């Protein structure tokens, strides 16, 4: 169980680095984006109808 927990912890850490650009890997392209990825997803979910413009 200890090994499994460690694996989950490592996986979560890797995912966080990929999703939030905390890693030194510039290939993910997220560091150049000023907007968090979850903000983009929320905008897509909201759709154009949510905008009064």
pLDDT confidence of residue 3: 74
Q: For residue 6, give both structure tokens.
A: 């460690």
Q: What is this structure's pTM? A: 0.29
Q: How many domains does the chain divide into?
A: 1
Residue 45: the pLDDT is: 59
What pLDDT sits at residue 23? 45
- Compute the C-alpha angle 34/38/43, nearest 5°: 90
d(CA 43, CA 37): 10
| pLDDT at residue 51, as a whole number | 53
Each residue of 1-33: pLDDT tens digit? 677 777 888 888 888 877 766 544 444 555 555
Q: What is the pLDDT of residue 32?
A: 54
Structural domain containing residue 9: 2-50
């Amino acid at each position: 169980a200890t090994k499994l927990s460690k694996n989950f912890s490592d996986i979560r850490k890797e995912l966080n680095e990929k999703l939030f650009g905390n890693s030194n890997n510039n290939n993910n392209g997220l560091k150049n984006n000023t907007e968090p990825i979850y903000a983009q997803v929320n905008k897509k979910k909201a759709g154009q109808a949510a905008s009064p413009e």
